[in-house]
Amino acid sequence: MQEQNLDLKKLRTRLKRHMEEAVPDARIDYCLTCGMCVSGCPASGIEDMDPRKFLRLLALGQDEALLKTDWIYSCTMCQRCEYACPMKINVGRFVYELRGMRPRDERPRNLQRSCDLQRESNSTGIPNEDFVWVVNDVLEEVIQEEPEWADLKAPMDKKGAEFYLNQNAKEPTVEPEEMVPLWKILHAAGADWTYSSKWWDGANYCLFTGDAEDWEKTVRNQAETVDALGVRYYINTE
């Protein structure tokens, strides 16, 4: 969704209509107020909000309250609400739409910053050459300290590998040893895999900002990298 300035008075009668147009089978008016969605929601009670209250505000046209609540960033969009709901209403999908309607400068600062960094390279902003160096350095250390893993590999930019592995950017940045267990599993399984030296970050913070354009760009960068390497399967560690 493109960035827009919000005029609350104009949107007060439009938010429900927007959801019905944007979300297939929105079913807003199907809500029975039974509270089943609340029972399984990890964000219930935060910011004095829960899925049932959220949905009633939406159904009753309380747009200003919904556009201002920060509860949308406590919601994990896990879809437990939809799973529990007898009418299969997916509140998480409405939350996603609301996040995208928030002006960029009013979104959580760290979340938006991570998304902006990822659009350029990765969510921590470390240079790609640093990622390559860390992988090789950690691999060398394992081989030296654990002789039983002397033939362990952490391939980089291997064309035609069967599996592509992405990586949570925080691990090579602050917890590089956390990368090793998965390398060992893949090695023990005899998997033919590779990293890429670019667009290797497995997280997608742009999903959580609610900005479809940013989200699509992040996914496309990764998909095009996998295709360029000629890899058949994409392992998303996130």
Least confident of 11-25, 114-128, 178-192: 11-25
Instruction: Please write the tens of the pLDDT for every residue from 148-167.
Output: 999 999 999 999 999 999 99
Give me the residues paired with residue 167 across strands. 201
Torsion of CA 18, 23, 27, 28, to 10 degrees: -40
Locate CATH 1.10.1060 in the chain: 8-106
Instruction: Please write the tens of the pLDDT for every residue from 67-114.
Output: 999 999 999 999 999 999 999 999 999 999 999 999 999 999 999 999
CA dist list (Å): 141 to 69, 144, 177: 48, 5, 10
| pLDDT of res. 203 | 85
Averaged pLDDT, 21-37 = 92
**Rounded to two decimals, what is the model's pTM?**
0.79
Q: Is the pLDDT of residue 124 over 90?
A: yes
CATH architecture group of domain 8-106: Orthogonal Bundle (1.10)
Collapse the DSSP code of 238 into the 3-class scheme (helix H, G, I; strand E, B; otherwise coil) and give the result.
Answer: coil
Q: Mean pLDDT in the chain?
A: 91
Give me the percent of the chain exceeding a pLDDT of 70.
95
Q: Is the pLDDT of residue 119 over 80?
A: yes
| Of 122, 206, 216, 219, nearest in space to 168 by CA | 122
